[in-house]
Amino acid sequence: MSAYENLMAHARQTEALAQIAGRLGWDQQTMMPRGANAQRSEEMAALEDVLHARRTDPRLGAWLEQAEAPDEVGAANLRELRRDYARHTKVPARLASELARITPLAQTAWEDARLAGDVAAFLPWLKQMIALRREEGQAIAGGGDPYDALMEDYEPETSSDAVAATFARMRPRLVALREAILGADTPPALTGHFAQDGQMRISRRLAEHFGYDFARGRIDLAVHPFSSGSGDDVRITTRVAMEDPFNCFYSTIHEVGHAAYEQGVDPAHALTPIGRGVSMGVHESQSRIYENQLGRSRAFCGWLHGAMQQEFGPLSVADADAFYAAVNRVNTGYIRTEADEVQYNLHIMLRFDLERALIRGTLDAEDLEAAWNTRFEADFGYKVDKPANGVLQDVHWSVGLFGYFPTYALGNIYAGCLHKTLRADLPDLDAQLALGDTTAATNWLNSRLQQFGALRGPTQTISHACGFTPDEQPFMAYLEAKFTELYRL
């Protein structure tokens, strides 16, 4: 076998084992009996040891030196393999193992601190996590920026300077849009009690309408909605709140967007390094365009309004336009995961600036809460009332996820670019969406983007699909147009 063939055979087994690890994660959040927790940790640690040994296998270094790509696909596979190997071998084993050891402890400390509203109790863990991740970022970056090195794990080929510049252009426009909306009349919310069975029936219909392949997946309930797996076994979860059916429905559509990307990659790439979504930002572009630009469009909301009336009888919001307004209602609030399309991005920018400063060492962990609260009031216009609604609201930092937050907003930006070209290519789209038919749109996304997996880098993936170099302009124009019209600004 050639060095390339050796690499690919090795990578294929590693990826098969990684799929198993992912499926255990799904099991843990959906099926596992609660008493199995400690045993499961030990099982997962054993599997992670196997994966780590494979990913740092010294033979990989020799093969990577000799390997020649047979074609474009081979070149892409080598690009992914080289990056993975470099990342895994640059991080000292001691550091990786220390991170693995303290992560569950720090997460538990965060959970307790959030419940108790006690930022000080979480501070020692946060400091330790920042120090370890900074050290990891420095090890990967050599002399470069440690935050960029961490971010590139989720969004390769992207610099935080570029992200910061983009966010700086978006932020004043978002703050202004938010202020104008909250100064206008608020449309009525949908009220009522919606039974779990009915919500799940509509969830399944939504998943089918958005092209989710149930022969290669399934929907279950979990505390936090997620999508898990690649290729022929991609499972999603959703959640049900009796008073808030949109939470369930739009969580489902969001996760179907992630799942459609993984289910939609060309089967020829299955279990290879490019046989999955290329980055978190591009992944999020799929979940966001499914959820927002398609799912929260006026046309699709019309179909959903009918489906809900069919399932639940007359609704508190009887008129289709009012239903569309209720779906897209902008509220004051503190919590990122409950935010609307406009305010969501302000949440991200706040976290991006703070976590970048923490990793770079220009902000001390002691000063984080004050920095959060000051920035929140500047952007949102009111004060944080308690840490659970402020600096302690997200799990990310407690488990060491620094550099992950910006990918959510990059996903929105990418979705805006894709949506612009999609609309131009499909002039009849609204007529289809009004019938609940997303086939043309999801086929467009599959043929332009999803089928390629990680064949191209993130930015190239988007520009190949939309036909231009991505920037924030289409997304901002979409947001401003949608909400100016909705709120008659």
Token output for 105: 């402890």
Is 88 marked within a binding site? no
Closest distance of CB 29 from a second copy, Å? 13
Is 157 marked within a binding site? no
Answer whether 155's CB lies under 8 Å from 281's CB.
yes
Closest distance of CB 206 from a second copy, Å? 18
DSSP state of 290: I
Q: Identify residue 252 by its one-letter amino acid code.
A: T
Q: In what order do the strands lie in the sheet with 227-228?
A: 219-221, 235-238, 227-228
Token output for 21: 């690890």
Closest distance of CB 93 from a second copy, Å? 16
- Using CB atoms within 10 A of its CB, is residue 319 exposed (0-12), middle (13-18) or buried (19+)? exposed
The candidate with the shortest Cα–Cα distance to 288, out of 197, 407, 373, is: 407
Q: Which is nearer to a second copy, 27 or 437 (CB)?
A: 27
Is 283 marked within a binding site? no
Q: Applying CB under 8 A, which residues contact a second copy? A: 12-13, 16-17, 19-20, 23-24, 27, 31-40, 42-43, 45-47, 49-50, 213-218, 231-233, 235, 270-271
Known catalytic membership, residue 255: yes
Closest distance of CB 269 from a second copy, Å? 13
Helix axes 245-264, 196-209, angle to 10 degrees: 30
Q: Which is nearer to a second copy, 215 or 313 (CB)?
A: 215
Closest distance of CB 218 from a second copy, Å? 6
Residue 111 sits at the vertex; the CA angle it makes with 105 and 116, to the nearest 5 degrees, is: 125
Q: Which is nearer to a second copy, 212 or 478 (CB)?
A: 212
Q: Identify residue 484 by its one-letter amino acid code.
A: T
Q: Which of 136, 155, 255, 341 is catalytic?
A: 255
Q: Which is nearer to a second copy, 218 or 239 (CB)?
A: 218
Helix axes 406-425, 473-486, angle to 10 degrees: 80
Q: Identify residue 129 by its one-letter amino acid code.
A: M
Q: Which is nearer to a second copy, 1 or 38 (CB)?
A: 38
Query: What are the catalytic residues?
Result: 255
Q: List the binding residues for Zn(2+).
A: 254, 258, 284
